[in-house]
């Protein structure tokens, strides 16, 4: 990266009031926080512009953690939560919107794995398909991993859990209580993740937050509602990123 590009990235990361002060002092042109703008790119392209550099695999985990730290915690009614769960219509919970949002913000616009309404990126949302697309898409793209073969999830990996054994619905059918989240730290016995979908007991609103849970000796995780098994996860570094990431708070 050139020195000019490095300086430009540093300026983009500054708060708006700092940019204003710099502009007034030195006569700089105001730098707009354009979606996905890349200082290395020629032209003024935004998200999806050909001149923008897609996320490199070696950078994607750090970018994912930066985005999650900037947005979480948040809950229904806030601008941050509204962006994450923009397609939520009140059916089910919001866990799958967090993973789809993160992939999209990082620059993955593959409809096999991203369930989100972003027409400019060729993405369209389908009700009830958040988890299905994440799992099936991860497998189709060769990014699916399991504990038996691949160790533990790394920061930014997109994890899929299900209750084991399943709970029973009133009609006797199985309820697997599926859940997806983003791994943050799975190195010890207490696993930290970024999750959406829990209802705040005080306000009754859906939340997105960082959570730490106990991992049992049999490999299951202590979730609200009962232990859940990690079925597998999507390796974030194996996902195709074909446009520049949208960094920072939009």
Per-residue pLDDT reduced to its tens digit, 117-133: 999 999 999 999 999 99
- Give the model confidence (pLDDT) of 155-164 as tens digits: 999 999 998 7
Q: How confident is the model at residue 12, as a pLDDT?
A: 36
Q: How confident is the model at residue 69, as a pLDDT?
A: 98
Alpha-carbon span 38 to 12, nearest angstrom: 10
Alpha-carbon span 210 to 212, nearest angstrom: 7
140 touches 114 (CB < 8 A):
no
- Give the model confidence (pLDDT) of 99-123 as tens digits: 999 999 999 999 999 999 999 999 9
Q: How confident is the model at residue 56, as a pLDDT?
A: 87
Percent residues over pLDDT 90 in the chain: 61
Q: Which residues pair with residue 245 across a beta bridge?
A: none
Residue in the structure block whose two tokens are 């160790």: 151
Structure tokens at 179: 């859940």
pLDDT of residue 26 exceeding 50, the answer is no
What's the mean pLDDT in 10-29? 37
Structure tokens at 147: 């504990």
46 touches 35 (CB < 8 A):
yes
What's the mean pLDDT in 65-75? 98
Alpha-carbon span 156 to 167, nearest angstrom: 29
Q: How confident is the model at residue 219, as a pLDDT?
A: 78
159 touches 146 (CB < 8 A):
no
Residue 33: partners with Cβ closer than 8 Å, 6 or more residues away: 12, 248
- Give the model confidence (pLDDT) of 148-194 as tens digits: 899 999 999 999 999 877 778 888 887 778 999 999 999 999 999 99
Backbone φ and ψ of 208, nearest 5°: -125, 130
Q: How confident is the model at residue 173, as a pLDDT?
A: 80
């Amino acid at each position: 990266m050139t020195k000019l590009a490095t300086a430009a990235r540093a300026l983009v990361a500054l708060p708006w009031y700092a940019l204003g002060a710099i502009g007034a002092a030195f006569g700089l042109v105001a730098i707009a926080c354009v979606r996905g703008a890349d200082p290395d790119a020629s032209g003024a392209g935004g998200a999806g512009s050909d001149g923008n550099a897609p996320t490199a695999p070696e950078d994607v985990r750090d970018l994912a953690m930066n985005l999650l730290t900037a947005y979480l915690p948040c809950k229904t009614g806030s601008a941050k939560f509204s962006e994450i769960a923009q397609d939520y219509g009140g059916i089910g919970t919001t866990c799958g919107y967090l993973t789809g949002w993160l992939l999209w913000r990082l620059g993955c616009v593959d409809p096999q794995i991203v369930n989100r309404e972003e027409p400019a990126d060729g993405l369209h949302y389908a009700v009830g398909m958040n988890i299905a697309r994440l799992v099936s898409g991860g497998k189709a793209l060769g990014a699916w991993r399991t504990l038996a073969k691949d160790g533990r999830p790394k920061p930014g990996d997109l994890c899929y859990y299900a209750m084991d054994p399943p709970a029973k619905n009133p009609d006797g059918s199985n309820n697997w209580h599926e859940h997806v989240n983003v791994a943050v730290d799975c190195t010890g016995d207490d696993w930290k993740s970024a999750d959406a979908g829990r209802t705040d007991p005080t306000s009754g609103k859906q939340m997105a937050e960082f959570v730490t849970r106990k991992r049992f000796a049999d490999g299951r995780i202590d979730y609200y509602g009962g232990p859940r098994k990690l079925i597998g996860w999507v390796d974030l570094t194996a996902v195709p990123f074909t446009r520049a990431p949208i960094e920072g708070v939009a």
